[in-house]
Structure 1
Amino acid sequence: MNEYRIKSIVKSLANINSANFFHDICLSLSKAINADFVYIASLDDNDTLATTIALASQGKIIENISYSLPNTPCEQIVNSLICTHRCNIQQRYPNDARLIDMSIEGYVGVPLKNVEGNIAAILVALFQEPISNTNEIETLFLLFSGFIERELHKKSYSEKLELTNTIIENSHEAILITDAHTRIIHTNKAFSKITGYHIDEVTGETPKFFQSGHHDKHFYQKMWSQLKRRGHWQGEIWNKRKSGEIYPEWLSISTIYNKVNQVTHYVSFFSDITQQNKDKSKIKRQYYFDSLTKLANKKMLFQQVDQAIKQNCQEPQNIQSLCGLLVMDLDLFKHINNTYGHAFGDKLLRLVANRLKSLIRATDTVARTSGDSFALFIKNLPDEQGAQRIAENIKKSFSDPFHLDGITTSCSLSIGIALFPHDEKNAAGLFKKAEQAMFDAKDNGRNSFRFFTSNMEESAARILKVKSELEEAINSNKLDVVFQPIISLKTQLCTKFEALVRWNNNGTWVSPTDFIPIAEHFNLIDKIGDIVLKKSCQVLKTLKNAGFTDIIFNINRSIYEFPIDEANNNLWLNVIEASGLSPSDICFELTESVLAPENGNNISLLKSIQDAGCKIALDDFGTGYSSLSYLRRFSIDILKIDRSFIKEMTMVKDDKTLVTAIITMAKALGIAVVAEGVEKKEEVEILTELGCDFIQGYYFSKPLPVQALEIFLKKFSFTHPLT
């Protein structure tokens, strides 16, 4: 080998700047071996693509390139120590277009390994003339490949170090690093953002610098004990910012050891969890407290009752204290709500809550358990008369009227009382029996209280029997759907039907007013609603196939049938479309409670199905100011005037005035109007004169079974009703 070549390269390497090492080594090698091209290229993870780090040609560095390794001489380097072709390289690799473009005749390449010993790069020399001294070039490449590998290792380490530093500095979590003596040596930007301290202000300090005084010495002793035993600790800790503010953080500390298992550093990661704690507190409040009245909710009540019962049961039976649960329901609250509106009703509920709170001791629990129902749990009653005195005191207090928004209204309570340990020994059972007693008080004239008795369970048993039979009817598909015609006053044609559920229980028709409340109470109403929707869609599809293409079906939906999760908002549309119908073939009838502000997903679902083409009708309209607020908040397509106004319209002037006002207002808002409960020709004439759009009632037809629909549509005459 020509020693001059080696000396010239070594001499040039002595003056190489580390930043330009790869450029300089390629230039030196190309000059020493008279190569037309010399380059160093890194390989991808799959060893299929090479990208040059430095590329020298004719004494200068040129732009880097990337190329595919398969079917090239470089592919051989990955599998061997060195690859040399003195001449005719193009003939050996005819698919390597780069060799042809660069007019290459000779080739020398060696692999370059990373720290793990895997081939990660290659050193290549290309010659446009046949190579005369391949052995010398191979020796030279093998000799200097070690230098290049070391620089590649340094480059890789530097890149990893830079990446690590970038990750640390840009982490959203604060990072604090100390030495083995817990002196701070490094922090990141997130640390400064959270604590308010710059790194210069804390370098050399220990984490005690941030202590807030919130924790005692045992807390820190336990922390360090775990760090020493496990090398890790994490948990919530309260520290102090530069501003003096004490705040919570979630802290994770890890111990760093050297090769001989000596502690060298401690690394802490932490984040400010002030907002998370607020969110947790908010979630807890939402989970355990009523958002309207701020009272405990049913979950919290049950928790308090069960806890008190558990404590009592740990005592000998002869010294267990008497506890009472009072379940209270506001009398005629629905009437107040309908008269003055939901906003007024909500304010009244707050006043009721405040009055109840003013009557209890600090050890008692008062809760709102549902819309207009409350409960009071009393511990350590002296005797049964103690519960009676409390009920009488509540009754007396509620004899005073409430004054709200310039309105004076009376609001009495029906109260049911159950006692521990006499009646039940768990919260759910105690509540159930107190509720049964409350229903008994309500059935016996309201504004009274009743203690639970075993006779009340007979009524509960009857309800459970109906519930069981209703479940069987649902599961066996024994519920029927009938359809009441809705007539257009403009076209004098039947254009719609309202679908209504009916139940024949072993030969006896059960009124919907009897079984629907039970279905709602036991969460069966959504299954009934699904049955009605599916059967109605099947019937409507049959009618359309028979040529009645303009018919629309109205389907009732109660508040209990709306999905809580938005992910289920397409279920109704899926049923409609699976039946081969368009969403525009269906109108959903709702009551006002569905649109209440607290029922957020209901509005989202309604907008979704309305956007798809369904119509929305507001049922029983005209029973309160709240209806008007809903018209402002949500785009209703149809109003259905409550039958009570239609019934009295021909005799009571105020009712006719109200009907007139509703129709006029609806027209101004572009909303269609359906009058329910129309039974007389005189009512039809008045509604026609007032400009009502549709009428529904026994004047034209009672609800019809499926098999009667086609006959009705074919024979219907506006001037000669079939009824």
Structure 2
Amino acid sequence: MVSYCSGEEAALKCSSRKPDIEGYSNILSLVLAGAPLHEVLTALVLLIEAQNSGTKASVLLLSNDGKRLLKGAAPNLPKAYNDAIDGVEIGPAVGSCGTAAYLRERVIVDDIEHHHYWAHYKDLALGFGLKACWSEPIFDSLGEVLGTFAMYYDEVKSPRAEDLVLIEQAARLASLAIERNKSTHLQKLTHMIFNHLPMALLITNGSGSMLFSNRMFNGIIEGEELNPQTKLHLVEQDTSRVFEPHKFFAASPSVTLQSLLDNLSHNLAWDGELCCEREDGRFIYLALSVTPYRDVFGLQNCFAWIMMDVSDSKKANHLIQYQANNDALTGLSNRKHLLEKIKKYIHGKQEDNQTLPAFSLLQIDLDNFKQINDTLGHDNGDALLIAVADRLSQACPSKALLARLNGDEFALLLPNKLNAEELSELAQSINQLISERFVIDQQVLYTTVSIGIARYPADSNSVSALLNCASQAMYSAKEKGRNGFQFFDQQMQLKAERTAYIHTHIKAGLENNEFELYYQPIVNIRTATIHRAEVLLRWHHEGEFISPDEFIPVAEQTGFIVQLGEWVRKEAFKTIDLFSQNQLSVDLSVNVSTMEFWSPELQARFLASFDDTVRELGLDYFPYHMLTLEITESLMMQQHTNIANLLQTLRKRGIKVSVDDFGTGYSSLSYLVNFPVDQIKIDKAFVQKLTDGHRHIAIVEAIASLSRSLDLTVTAEGVETKEQLAIISGNQIDMVQGYYFYRPMPKREFLNLLFEQAGYGLL
């Protein structure tokens, strides 16, 4: 079968059905052997039905007077139907076949019940469950109608492009068989074969002399591009011209070529696929069938070669294979291909040595890629990924396999055993290479990567588990500051299991009321009274206290921090309302995760949550001036106008904004000047070193002085000793938080403390 398609898409589509060279060769053998016409046509019908599922095919022959259609071959159509249409007169509306023979053109009827060609015959067809019929007229070499080739279906059905090619080829083969039956001369039969089969044909004798070839064969050799509709001409060659298969197919795999040569030497048929180089230098793939036969005089062995150019099909299959194994953006291997290579490597080594092979796996992840992607757009993000892939390829040792797992994650497979020093040197070189500047769309960008290293079988003898080990090591590198690498160790595994445990139970924990707010008082040391309290989240799960240092990062990674933050603010609102009802003038500070401001959608949700909470609690009035939101320096660093506007909107309601852990991030005076901030909290890391030397005291003095100059109030957190308190007090810092005064406590205990301070007595 030959499919004629234009364009890459058509090539892909048409190449999906591989040509049945062996089937056509069998038909040709029947024709050459002089088999009865009914036998040849039945074999042809069965071949076409096998190639196109659901087809019931038939051949009808035009009577000698050219007026009626007679039974030819239809082994799978009901006998009663075949008998009913036998001898039907052709005409302009006589079903599909009668009309095709009359009009001398293809007739496609996709719905027999509603097509006017079948108006007088539809009851007959529908009665046997036939609902669609496509018919192709069969022409002889002079253009006269010989009959029709039809394809029936038991459903309403329209043909695809490849279906039309198939029915046309079937009609050509039927024409060959019918003409052979009308002719008694073998030479004329050979001419018909060459003129009607849409493939390259060659006949050689046992010595390789070319007895005959058609134009299609010459086109394959010379590189002449032929129009498939062009009539093929038989060319009788000078017998001094020799066809040498070992040279013609020299570009083929040696084992396959030797198989062909062995069969030829034993006068045996051969079917397969080989590669040849044309005279224009282009390599093409040919589907090949070679059939031996005795010449007309029975004196010498000859070979009939049938060839079809399947290069487009091979190209399409190669493209499909490439798309299945390679990343569309970078061209690197994809995750599927990487896993297949690892498993193949392990299996191959085990077969050779009967021992587990050794190899290393590096998982490489870009640092802060999401921020780059969101800021510069996905097109520039993709361009950066391509550039990073190119640099990683430069750093790859020979025989290593580089793959893109997904998003901004890459993996590097290093066969054979490498020691820790070699792996460290490679990881350091990758870190150095990626940290150099990139120019994307005329913009200079800098990025880094975090690398996790796992070794097989030392860290795991499971491929999937090894990937997980490398991933854990990579995340450990990120936690240690990014732009570095870490080897996997069992402590990481324990940590990963703990993280997975928290991830599994945190959502249910909120639904089951396992979370609770604790309150740590902030004291005004001038008045010795509690002025404010920081709200702290605690989780009691199945008798275990899970630290916020464990569950907050997990909540942020999964996005559950948004729902958790809304719950905290709702509970804080309840407490503030209680304070207001009891005339307790104590404010609450609530921490806000940067993740709640990550996108415009989340920012809108954050702002709306305040009104939603007040409405949900059924409050007519809420004292927003008793609420302080604690944000981190990293949020100020983003300097997004919409975030600043959002916080300014909340400040207009009376809410205060405090910078938590000030001094531990990338502190900048511009942030404090340009961002809507009311308070600063000096991080406990500075407070706890106050007694270590003058330099630490100087930092606190500078922060306090700066804050006063900007009309910002200051709170010192983490005060635990009298000496620390004295230094804080000496720098005119009035608000103090720390164990020196109070530890975090449950709500009831905190309320009792406030009621006692107000002189109300205990709850």
State the TM-score, normalizing by the size of structure 2: 0.43
State the TM-score, normalizing by the size of structure 1: 0.45
